[in-house]
Amino acid sequence: MRRRSSAIAVAAAALVAVVGRADAASETLAYRVHHATYGNIGTYTNVIERRGDGTSVRSELHLAVKLLGVVVWRQEAFRTEEWGQNRLISFEGVTVTNGKRSEIHGAARDDRFVIIAPGGTVEAPANVHPSNPWSAAVLAPGAMMSTSTGEVTTVAIIGGEMQTVDLDGKTLHLRQFDIIGEKHRVVWLDDARVPVAFRTEERGAVVDFILEDHRGAAFP
């Protein structure tokens, strides 16, 4: 009887695992990061998992600037976004720049989103979205939270029309979205609404994130 009970328990656990995998969908977007002055400086990855009405986004950033073979600047970041019913439920982020650690914690509270960051505590609107363009769904005007500092700014979104874009030595036909806020960001989507590249500015220099590897089904 004990062996039979154990076998039933193992079978039940296996069934739960199979059902869990069948109910989940995963997508990985891996980018190469190119700096206008220093060339290729690292990688950025979004791993997106959707289960029912919830979506989890795990991001990793690994950057290093070298001069004459010596690393003069380094930054790494690990971030997690939890979404439910098209709303950001929680955000956890750790950024380490040249050994200095910075943490951001965010959580939905009623009709607000409370952010605890190095600069203090901020109450943002409930529809705030991080500056991580993992999906076309987050390209919305309104409040945007910086994933590196936790600061909240108001942005406008313009564009969306098909454009001919010269990117990474290639001529591509993509939908271009300009994010206008405290600085200018650009996101390019292909026909499947996959963010194949995005651009930001750091200290006046253009930094491009160019999709190198895409695995799994694209999410809208």
- Contact present, 61 and 77 (Cβ < 8 Å): yes
Sign of CA dihedral 168, 28, 81, 102: negative
Choose among 70, 76, 77, 74: nearest CA to 91.
77
| Residue 193 clears pLDDT 60, i.e. is over it | yes
Question: Helices H, strands E: what count in the chain?
Answer: 1, 15
Biggest CA pair distance of the chain:
72
Name the pTM for this structure: 0.86
Percent of the chain predicted with pLDDT > 90:
78
pLDDT higher than 80, residue 217: no
Tokens of 147: 């994933």
The encoded tokens of residue 50 equal 């959707």
Q: How confident is the model at residue 15 (pLDDT cuts 50, 70, 90)?
A: very low
Q: Is pLDDT at 78 greater than 70 in this prediction?
A: yes
Model pLDDT, residue 127: 96
pLDDT 10s digits, 136-159:
989 999 999 999 999 999 999 999
Which residues is 208 bridged to in the sheet? Answer: 34, 199
Band of the pLDDT at 116, cuts 50, 70, 90? very high
Coil, strand, or helix at residue 10? helix
The helix/strand/coil state of 9 is helix
In sequence order, which residues have a C-beta less than 8 Å from that of residue 65 and are 6 or more positions away?
35, 38, 41, 71, 72, 73, 74
